[in-house]
Structure 1
Amino acid sequence: MLAQASVDLDSLPLEEQVTLLKASLIAAQKAAAENLDAAQRARAEMVNYRRRTDEERIANSKYANSRLIANVLPVLEELELGVRHAEGQQQDPSAEANGSLLEGIKLIQRKLTGVLESEGVRVIEAVGLMFNPLEHEAVGTEESATVEPGYITQIVRPGFRLHDRVISPVQVMVAKAPAKEQE
């Protein structure tokens, strides 16, 4: 508005010049406020974008090793089965020579468990808890007079969580009500 009026501004009476300049100033202030608002919004969007990408990067790094851990967990489970089997064989007199081998396997098992725990892996608890399909995989049911139906009676295969994500569900047996005896 001022650009058009600047040519004619000198020819206008002083009062009209002041009115025209005030209107031009108000328009310029409004445009400046809009530009400032747009700049502040753009800055806020950039800050939010950086925060989101930082959170995503942290989450990605937190779970980056989940595939490796999922591949290592069966090895740990097999070590545990081997230890249990070897401990069951301890009554055999010829098994005494294998005692140091068993201790070595137990040491490896403890170290592997420690490494996994340091990476955020935790065993999912199950026995005595209500069945939760997000953490548990029912492989069967069993009648129980002592455990309420829907509660877990035993673990068939352990399950694991990496931080707050289930990477392998715990396989369990779930209690059901005993069948009514027919007379």
Structure 2
Amino acid sequence: MRSYMRAAQAGEELQDANSEARTNQEGLNPDGEEAPVAAEPEAAAEQSQLEARLKAEVEELRLRSAAEMDNFKKRLNREHQEQMRYAAEKVLSDLLPTLDNLDLALQYGSRHDACKDMLQGVAMTRKLLLEAVIKHGLTPLGEEGEEFSPEVHEAMGFEARPDFASGVVARVLQRGYKLGDRLLRPAKVMVNQ
């Protein structure tokens, strides 16, 4: 804004100088009376200085405007990329209970031999659904034996398993999921003592 004002002020000064130069050339002062003749080289030098200053200010204004436009384009592009990356977040979050239910069906159905054939279909359905959501950036979290991390795990309690070291995940109660770098849901786990 200041650059616009300076450029406008410089333009007015240039017009004043041009007007003064004309009246000096005609032998009149701004009041219309005869004025002593000014030295033309002085007026020409002053006018060229004003023109140079005006050109410099216009160039500075042009460069600033170009930089502002470039920054605006970059910010818009960054926001668009961020929005595209996490556009599927709501849909994927809504699919998490479905994955949980398929996991539970596999977990509890494996105890009965009569459910063996049906469990194959459930396992295949879970696999296809998991592959589809992984293509969209969803990453499952929570495996037995991995180091407990409060950034991605929610400890629901402690459990003693001699086959695991202390402070690792002893049992996964509910898987967690990440979308890109964003945690959608922490894994609910039991921590080994």
TM-score (norm 2): 0.76
The structure-2 alpha-carbon separation of the partners of 1:106 and 1:21, relative to structure 1 and needing over 3 Å to count, comes to: same
Q: CA deviation at 1:35?
A: 1.4
Question: Which residue of the partner structure matches residue 180 of structure 1?
Answer: none
How far apart in 2 are the matches of 1:107 and 1:127?
Answer: 22
Partner of 1:77: 100
Matches within 5 A, 1:3-152: 3-9=19-25, 11=27, 12=37, 16-90=39-113, 95=114, 98-125=115-142, 127-142=144-159, 147-149=165-167, 151-152=168-169
How far apart, in 1, do the equivalents of 2:65 and 2:108 lie? 65
Q: Tell me the secondary structure at the aligned position of residue 150 of structure 2.
A: coil
Cα distance in structure 2, aligned partners of 1:129 and 1:17: 88
Structure 2: state its 5+ residue gaps.
Answer: 1-16, 28-36
Residues 102, 126 of structure 1: CA spacing in aligned structure 2 closer, same or farther, 3 A cutoff? closer
Give yes or no for contact 2:177–2:184 (8 Å, CA) kept in 1. Answer: yes
Of the candidates 178, 181, 185, which is equivalent to residue 161 of structure 1?
178
Structure 1, unaligned runs of 5 or more: 177-183
The answer to whether structure 1 residue 2 and structure 2 residue 12 are counterparts is no
Residues matched between the structures, number = 167
